[in-house]
Chain A
């Protein structure tokens, strides 16, 4: 039976390293993906993820269950992003691919059946990562937190220590830049099959 986060946290807070490792395993990929989309570089994402886990381990005793473990972890991650940005430690012009990213998964992309769907997914993923690279760090972080993490503007503003208006502007500019960067060819699958307006509007 899978142990709950609450039980693992309680054990980890009592210096049970194995429990902390189980928690880390549970959330490692999610944190790594967020870091990867932010850094666009596999090595930086790895470094940043390690930093997050180090800080989480050091601060675990201060976790009070007033939010979910992931929310708490995400706060640490955002702070790590902002600190990294200030110290400008990220590699410049870092190139990476989806293949590098999936190396953290159990099943490398290369071993998956080569199907049009997989190829499209890989191309799509790489296009989106490239497009995200066009954003400023603030825009990228705001966009990721809004559209990948589903945080509200107020939550993002609190996390980034700015106004929600600033966050909204950042996300709006991010969407505009992403739209310009993502090519019409890539957009084509969606645009070729127009949907009723009510259907389009209901999703957003």
Chain B
């Protein structure tokens, strides 16, 4: 059964710990089940992508 709390914890863990890992298929399955969790993941990921892009744009050439 889907648990938003557990899924969001896993999202946090994924974003914090597994930056270079292969996709987590279990988490992907949970995200497909729940729009809120999907949105949480997309928003956090977009935040990190924005900071990454900002860094890349200002990085030394």
Contacts and interface: CB of A to CB of B under 8 A. Distances in A.
A binds B: yes
Contact of B16 (A131, A172, A201): A172
Given A200-B41, A201-B14, A201-B23, A182 B50 contact: yes
A179 interface: yes
B57 interface: yes
Interface residues of A, number: 35
Contacts of B1: none
A198 B57 contact: no
A76 interface: no
Contacts of B17: 168
Contacts of B28: 197-198, 201
A116 to B, nearest CB: 14
Contacts of A200: 41-42, 45
A98 B16 CA distance: 28
Nearest to A101: B58
Classify the secondary structure of A's interface with B.
helix
Contact of B47 (A101, A172, A187): A187
Given A179-B47, A182-B47, A125 B16 contact: no
B20 to A, nearest CB: 9
B24 interface: yes
B54 A175 contact: no
Contacts of B6: none
B36 interface: no
B36 to A, nearest CB: 14
Nearest to A102: B58
- Ranked nearest first, the 7 interchain pairs of A and B with the lowest CB-CB distance are A201-B23, A190-B46, A128-B54, A29-B60, A179-B47, A197-B28, A187-B46
Given A178-B47, A179-B43, A203-B45, 5 more contacts: A37-B55, A121-B54, A125-B54, A172-B16, A178-B51
